[in-house]
Amino acid sequence: MTESLFGPAAPMELAPGAWLLPGLALEAEPALLAALQAVLAQAPWRQMQTPGGQTMQVAMSNCGPLGWVSSRAGYRYQALDPLSGQAWPPMPTVFQTLARHAAELAHYENFAPDACLINRYLPGTRLSLHQDRDERDFSQPIVSVSLGLPAVFLFGGLQRADKTLRLPLSHGDVLVWGGPARLRFHGVMPVAQGQHPRLGAQRINLTFRRAC
């Protein structure tokens, strides 16, 4: 979606339970980016290992009470950053407020995420189709905030082989999926070269979830 002079565009229902909120994060952009830098100063980018022993292309960090981690031991949520041995940085208020507001616009009330996974995609980086299913309660939605370079998001069905919708996402767009859409497969096509005026040559995604 393009940045508009007139504020965010109307929510668009992509499928039952799944909403695109174009430009919703733009209004809070300065506060979001400042909070993001503070989180990353405490919990820097790292490329985790997959359970199969590969290095993930996407670099990650987390904030909030729980962080999503991957290692040879598997995928899980944990309270401590394995790099520092310390708790993940707290989830900034501006993150929580945006996540809750986005969930409300998508008709999910009282969303209180306890985990925010932060993904960084350099040009050429992709994320293959997967389901988010490491959480305890699938009645809670997922809120996903796109920042920096644009990307094409792949939004599939409940089966891996289902047809995927190709959804262009730009800086400030927010996606919410839950309810009947909660376990839809999704992924990100390789990010194209480019320069974002504030974030440079990268796409950053914030994924808010209720893990526990």
**x/- binding map, residues 91-120, to ligand SIN, per CB under 6 A?**
----------------------------x-
Which strands form 165-169's sheet, in the order they lie side by side?
Answer: 127-130, 186-188, 151-155, 165-169
- Which of Fe ion, ligand SIN, none does residue 205 bind to, with CB < 5 to 8 Å depending on kind? ligand SIN
Q: 128 is written with which tokens?
A: 């293959």
- Of 125-164, binders to ligand SIN (CB under 6 A) are 127, 144, 153
Of positions 205, 209, 210, 211, contacts ligand SIN by CB under 6 A: 205
**Burial of 16 from C-beta contacts in 10 A (0-12 / 13-18 / 19+):** exposed
Minimum distance from residue 60 beta carbon to ligand SIN (Å): 9
Measured from each CB, the residue nearest to ligand SIN is: 205
* Residue 56 exposure: Cα atoms within 13 Å on the Cβ side: 21
Residue 81 carries which DSSP code? Answer: -
> How many residues are present in the chain?
212
Minimum distance from residue 63 beta carbon to ligand SIN (Å): 15
- The residue (of 100 and 209) whose beta carbon lies closer to ligand SIN is 209
**Tokens 């506060």 found at:** 31
Minimum distance from residue 119 beta carbon to ligand SIN (Å): 5
The answer to whether 184 and 149 have CB atoms below 8 angstroms apart is no
Chain positions contacting ligand SIN, by CB under 6 A: 119, 127, 144, 153, 186, 188, 205, 207
